Amino acid sequence: MREKMILSDAEWRKRLTPEQFAILRQAGTERAFTGKYEKNRAVGEYLCAGCGHPLFESEAKFDSRSGWPSFTQPADDGAVDEHRDVTHGMVRTEVVCSRCAGHLGHVFPDGPPEQGGLRYCINSAALDFKPEDN
């Protein structure tokens, strides 16, 4: 496991775009159907846009028709951490990067039943994509 990455808000602001900062550091959400990876079908790996930590593999990505990139599982057991989120009058499970604690999105129990039943609903702005080498 990688060492935890802890930076000040000023350091994060230097590293991230304003949209990435709002999502990763302030638990924001991009508008549905606007993210650059929502329709991405390329083979590769999705990394944390804040720290480069591997989060999800393209094989786990599916079209949930939710408007955000959706995955059935993280890249490995230590890729993400999950926390109870009771903001906005709802009870949800927040998903954060296990290395830098950046907010990624939420996980819901409405994914494909044949693949475990989970839907990791992730903001595109929280991700970078590394295509598989051919």
CA–CA distance, 103 with 28 (Å, rounded to integer): 8
Tokens at 130, concatenated:
């590394």
DSSP-derived 3-state class of residue 119: strand
Q: Does the annotation count 97 as an active-site position?
A: no
Q: How crowded is the C-beta side of 87, counted as CA atoms within 13 Å?
A: 10
Of the candidates 7, 13, 29, the residue with the CA atom closest to the CA atom of residue 125: 29
Catalytic residue among 48, 97, 100, 121: 121
| Residues annotated as part of the active site | 121
